[in-house]
């Protein structure tokens, strides 16, 4: 089953039944908090972990398949995964996920997609290893399931840990792995499968707090999601804006794309990818803007704030009336250099 068509058909059929946006956003924030405490721990094993945390959920519009060997970015080709520069005149460039989902539990799916650099591998510490993640909230009637599918490229299945206690060996879709031995608890069903390029693929299906699901339902759904993950990825997501040409030595290390009732939101981490990125570029809220008047950027007024060396350039009304923040402990001129080359919606 093709995820791109699956999601589009689901959105079209169930658009009038979309859950309350405040409840969806609250659920997403709880999930991100939970994942920072549990799932992201194995990622810290990689050198220079990069995680882009934008506490929101989104209805992500999946677009045409991209070339298997391309990742849209504003940087030149490096020693990491293949990249494609996004020229300003080409418009906002789609971003490629590293794997695709072939099946989801039936219902209305709301989710965000992100791709992160988890640092170098033990064999090549200076070469970034990228991982992708889908976080979904699937609503069917009164039941709400939380589905998380994440690459953990720096963690082998032998290091798998579970919320429910010890795991047990399993083979799904021809791939060996370890799954949770008790899936009826609050953690739901979890499985770590051997990733074709090393490390693990993690799948978690659980009932959202306040909702219920039978243990066997969670097991069946989790195994089927895991069985239908395909590599390499052909799924693309459309960000609210693109990075464009980056200053020399900098490239995109992570992205986070979400679309919801308030419109599309996007974030990027920009740096060398060998250490924590120094610049974060992300959608923001008008209420967050502070500082003094700065240099105009692409016809937009700006605000500039320096907080003990951590500097922010706010580009006002950059994306459908909302601002974009370009921030980091970098020189003011470098932040403006990034801001000047962003590809903004017309």
The pLDDT value recorded for residue 112 is 80
Nearest to 281 by CA among 269, 294, 265: 269
Task: State pLDDT tens for residues 55-95.
Answer: 222 223 333 333 332 222 222 222 233 233 333 335 898 98
DSSP 16-82: GGPPPHHHHHHHHHHHHHHHHHTTTTGGGGSBS-------------B-SPPPTT--EESSPP-SSS-
If you ran DSSP here, which 8-state letter would residue 121 be given? -
The rounded percent of the chain whose pLDDT value lies above 90 is: 47
Question: What span, in angstroms and rounded, lies between the C-alpha atoms of 76 and 92?
Answer: 17
β-sheet bridge partners, residue 152: 200
CATH topology of domain 237-340: Phosphorylase Kinase; domain 1 (3.30.200)
pLDDT band at 277 (very low <50, low <70, confident <90, very high): low
Mean pLDDT rounded to a whole number for the chain: 75
Residue 291 burial by Cβ neighbours in a 10 Å radius (0-12, 13-18, 19+):
middle
Question: What span, in angstroms and rounded, lies between the C-alpha atoms of 301 and 81?
Answer: 36
Per-residue pLDDT, averaged over 218-230, amounts to 97
H-type alpha helices, the chain = 3-14, 21-37, 215-227, 332-340
Nearest to 203 by CA among 216, 214, 212, 194: 194
Question: What span, in angstroms and rounded, lies between the C-alpha atoms of 50 and 278?
Answer: 10
Q: In this model, does residue 173 exceed pLDDT 80?
A: yes
Largest CA distance in the chain: 60
Is 204 in a helix, a strand, or coil? strand
Give 166's contacts (C-beta < 8 A, 6+ positions apart). Answer: 181
Bigger pLDDT: 13 or 142?
A: 142
pLDDT band at 272 (very low <50, low <70, confident <90, very high): confident
Question: What span, in angstroms and rounded, lies between the C-alpha atoms of 322 and 16?
Answer: 26
If you ran DSSP here, which 8-state letter would residue 15 be given? G
Residue span(s) of the chain under CATH 3.30.200.100 come to: 237-340
Q: Which of 88-92, 269-273, 315-319 has the lowest mean pLDDT?
A: 88-92
> How many CA atoms lie less than 13 Å away from 216 in the CB half-sphere?
0
Owner of token pair 């693309």: 236
Q: In this model, does residue 282 exceed pLDDT 50?
A: yes
The pLDDT value recorded for residue 207 is 96
Residue 303's CB is within 10 A of a number of other CB atoms, namely 17
For residue 232, say if its preceding peptide bond is cis, omega within 30 degrees of 0.
Answer: yes
Residue 346 burial by Cβ neighbours in a 10 Å radius (0-12, 13-18, 19+):
exposed
Question: What span, in angstroms and rounded, lies between the C-alpha atoms of 76 and 83?
Answer: 7
The secondary structure of 64-93, three-state, reads CCCCCCCCEECCCCCCCCCCEECCHHHCCC
Q: In this model, does residue 312 exceed pLDDT 70?
A: yes
């Amino acid at each position: 089953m093709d995820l791109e068509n699956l999601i589009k058909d689901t959105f079209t059929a169930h658009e009038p039944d979309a859950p309350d946006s405040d409840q969806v956003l609250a659920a997403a924030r709880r999930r991100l908090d939970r994942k920072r405490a549990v799932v992201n721990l194995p990622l810290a094993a990689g050198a220079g972990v990069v995680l882009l945390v934008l506490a929101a959920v989104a209805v992500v519009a999946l677009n045409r398949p991209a070339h298997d060997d391309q990742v849209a970015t504003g940087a030149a080709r490096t020693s990491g995964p293949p990249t494609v520069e996004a020229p300003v005149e080409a418009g906002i460039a789609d971003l490629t996920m590293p794997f695709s989902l072939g099946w989801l539990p039936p219902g209305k799916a709301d989710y965000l997609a992100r791709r992160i650099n988890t640092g170098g591998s033990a064999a090549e510490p200076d070469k970034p290893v990228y991982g992708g993640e889908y976080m979904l909230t699937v609503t069917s009637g009164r039941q709400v399931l939380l589905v998380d599918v994440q690459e953990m490229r720096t963690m082998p299945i032998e290091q798998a840990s579970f919320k429910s206690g010890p795991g047990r060996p399993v083979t799904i879709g021809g791939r060996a792995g370890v799954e949770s031995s008790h899936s009826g608890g609050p953690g739901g069903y979890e499985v770590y499968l051997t990733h074709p390029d090393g490390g693990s693929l993690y799948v978690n299906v659980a009932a959202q707090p306040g909702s219920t699901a039978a243990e066997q339902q969670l097991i069946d759904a989790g195994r089927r999601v895991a069985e239908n993950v395909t590599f390499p990825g052909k799924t693309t997501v459309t960000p609210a804006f693109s990075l464009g040409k980056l200053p020399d030595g900098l490239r995109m290390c992570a992205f986070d794309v979400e679309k919801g009732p308030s419109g599309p939101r996007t974030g990027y981490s920009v740096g060398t990818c060998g250490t924590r990125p120094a610049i974060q570029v992300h959608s923001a809220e008008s209420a967050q803007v502070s500082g003094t008047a700065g240099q105009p950027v692409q016809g937009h007024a700006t605000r500039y704030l320096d907080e003990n060396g951590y500097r922010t350039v706010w580009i006002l009304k950059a994306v459908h009336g909302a601002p974009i923040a370009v921030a980091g402990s970098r020189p003011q001129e470098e932040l403006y250099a990034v801001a000047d080359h962003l590809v903004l919606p017309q």
